Amino acid sequence: MNLDLNTLLGDWPHEPGAIKVRKIVGLDGREKLQLRIDLGVLQMEMSGRPDGARPHGCESLLAYHQQRAGRAVQRGENYELTPEQCAELQQEGIQYYHRYLSLFQINDFAGVVRDTQRNLDLFDFVIEHTDREELSWSLQQFRPYVLMMNTRARASILLGEGKFAEAMLEIQRGRDAISDFFQRSNFPELAAKSSEIAFLDEWLEEVRAKRPLSKLEIMQREMETAIASELYERAAELRDAIKMLKTQTSA
């Protein structure tokens, strides 16, 4: 068997600045995810740990440590992560980063929500099980980005369903979560410089501008136009219809 990858890479060239992703069917008959990088191709499983490994028989290293921590709690003991274990968990988190970035490119937003939430759970776990701030911050520094990607995926699902109001609330929640993180950190001034917050603010305005008007908003605009045109009888009819609609909505 020829192990040279040049033919494969030549048929799918790397493009600087572009994230190129594709699905393929593996020899085991299951779908795989491939991410083209400058030096080759990363291939990942669609679920479970991206590299397909099962550390200590568990779905992931995080799941293994969560299991051990749960047992320690039952025994009334503290579970403390070593610096080496934190580094291993961070490396595993990078695998999930590569996958959720790839899934976002192919609009698999449910998969992005799953993997970003998994890494947020990782951050929380490390905070809980280490007293060393430098170990915690080595992961926490990425929370704003992961929160942004989680928010983008959740809101994209809602927008795909035509739920503009719910999507805007989701974007606002994500933006507030990032701001709250900075305010509770040792670097609250970073909130004003956050590219993640800036992106979500801009996206929120775009979604708001594209949001279809509700029946109530359309009637209110028609009433304003009627008043401006001195069509007072029509304005009065619209006013009464708006009152009735509001009553029905609140009932």
- Model pLDDT for residues 218-228, shown as the tens digit of each residue: 888 888 888 88
pLDDT digits (tens, 9 = 90+) for 101-127: 999 999 999 999 999 999 999 999 999
- DSSP helix/strand/coil, 185: coil
The count of other CB atoms within 10 Å of the CB of residue 243 is 10
251 confidence band (pLDDT: 50, 70, 90): low
Asked if 196 and 145 touch (Cβ cutoff 8 Å), the reply is yes
> Torsions phi, psi of 185, nearest 5?
-85, 180
Give 88 or 137, the one with higher predicted confidence: 88
pLDDT band at 234 (very low <50, low <70, confident <90, very high): confident
- 164 part of a folded domain: no
> What was the pLDDT predicted at 250?
64
Establish if 224 belongs to a structural domain.
Answer: yes
Comparing CA positions, the residue from 119, 69, 111 lying closest to residue 90 is: 119
Banded model confidence at residue 186, pLDDT cuts 50, 70, 90? confident
Q: pTM value?
A: 0.83
**C-beta contacts of 54-62 below 8 A and 24+ residues apart:** 60/92, 60/118, 61/88, 61/89, 61/92, 62/89, 62/92, 62/118, 62/121, 62/122, 62/125
The residue-averaged pLDDT of 161-165 equals 91
DSSP, collapsed to helix, strand or coil, labels residue 124 as helix
Is 90 exceeded by the pLDDT of residue 35?
Answer: yes
Query: Which residue range(s) make up the domain with 230?
Result: 215-250
120 inside domain = no
Q: Look at residue 71 and tell me if it is in a domain.
A: no
User: What is the SS3 assignment for 31?
Assistant: strand
Question: How confident is the model over 54-88, as pLDDT tens digits?
Answer: 999 999 999 999 999 999 999 999 999 999 999 99
Instruction: Assign 22 a pLDDT band (cuts: 50, 70, 90).
Output: very high
Domain assignment present for residue 225? The answer is yes
Q: Is residue 188 part of a domain?
A: no
Residue 152 domain-assigned (yes or no): no
Q: What is the pLDDT of residue 188?
A: 86
User: Range with the lowest mean pLDDT among 9-13, 60-64, 170-174?
Assistant: 9-13
Classify residue 116: in a domain, yes or no: no
Based on the structure, what is the number of domains in the chain? 1
Name the percent of the chain lying above pLDDT 90. Answer: 67
| Contact by Cβ (8 Å): 76, 18 | no
Residues 6+ apart with CB under 8 A from 207: 155, 159, 164, 167, 168, 171
